[in-house]
Amino acid sequence: MIEISREIIQKASTGDMISFEELYTLTSSYVYSVALRITTQRENAEEVTQDVFLKLYDNLKYFKFQSSFKTWLYRITVNTALTKVKKYANDMARRSDFDTAMRDRGYEEESTQRLVYDDNKILVKKMLKALNPDQRSCVVLRDIEGFSYDEIAKILHINVNTVRTRLKRGRDLLVRTFRKGVMCHEM
């Protein structure tokens, strides 16, 4: 993420909508990308982005520049996205299997019509879905956003060894799944 100037943050924190829109333009793709990768659903990612920027608008005046703005924004994004994933999972659990299947099928059809996914996009989406939300957050922050283990630990408020463990388990799972797939294919 590019560095956001102190001036924009300070102006936006006073409720200045022009500065807030500038802040949105500079950071929304980062917020949305992380939200999309963690929730794996376009609609949910848009809702998360909306929630994150409303939280930002309300709380920017309390940001005292003691920590990095980038870390703060990623933390809000990841936490909001994880909450959404849990809520979505609970909502889905309440529905019948039939409803869920129809909805997922409908979403896939709709999204294929609306968006032209290239192979890597589909692959990334499938891989992310194979991971649990905690492993997913670490993989997204490490491999897509390019943060170091220490930075991920700060963003997620967890120990750096937990970051190592989550990344290792997540990657091992992906390699195992790939091997199993190849084996099934060969059989």
Partner 1 sequence: MKCNECRKFLAEYSDGEVNQKVHRTIEAHVSECPSCKRELELLMQVAVLPFRRAEREVPSPEVWKRIKATIASRGGSEGSSDRVVWLNNLFSLKNIKYLAVAASIVVLISVVALQRQITTRRTINEYLTEEAYFLAELAETEAESSLELEESDFGTELEYYFLS
Q: Is 25 helix (H, G, I), strand (E, B) or coil?
A: helix
- The least distance separating partner 1 from the CB of residue 45, rounded to whole angstroms, comes to 8
Residue in this structure with the two tokens 């692959």, named with its chain if needed = 123
Q: What is the DSSP letter of 147?
A: -
Direct distance between the N- and C-terminal alpha carbons of the chain, in angstroms, rounded to an integer: 45
Residue 110 structure tokens: 């709709």
Q: How far is the CB of 1 from partner 1 (least distance, A)?
A: 10
Nearer to partner 1, 63 or 100 (CB): 63
Closest CA to 13 of 57, 53, 67, 72: 57
Cα angle, residue 148 at apex, residues 142 and 152 outer, rounded to 5°: 70
Of residues 134-173, which lie at the interface with partner 1 (CB under 8 A)?
139-140, 142-144, 148-149, 164, 167-168, 170-171
Side chain identity, residue 30: Y
* 57 counts as binding partner 1 under rule CB under 8 A: yes
Q: Which stretch binds partner 1 (CB under 8 A): 16-24, 69-77, 85-93, 95-103?
A: 16-24
For position 180 contacting partner 1 by CB under 8 A, the verdict is no
Q: Which tokens belong to 138? A: 């670490």
Q: How many residues bind to partner 1 according to rule CB under 8 A?
A: 40
**Which parts of this chain interact with partner 1 (CB under 8 A)?**
15, 17, 21, 24, 28-33, 36-37, 45-46, 49-50, 53-54, 57-58, 120-121, 123-124, 127, 139-140, 142-144, 148-149, 164, 167-168, 170-171, 174-175, 178
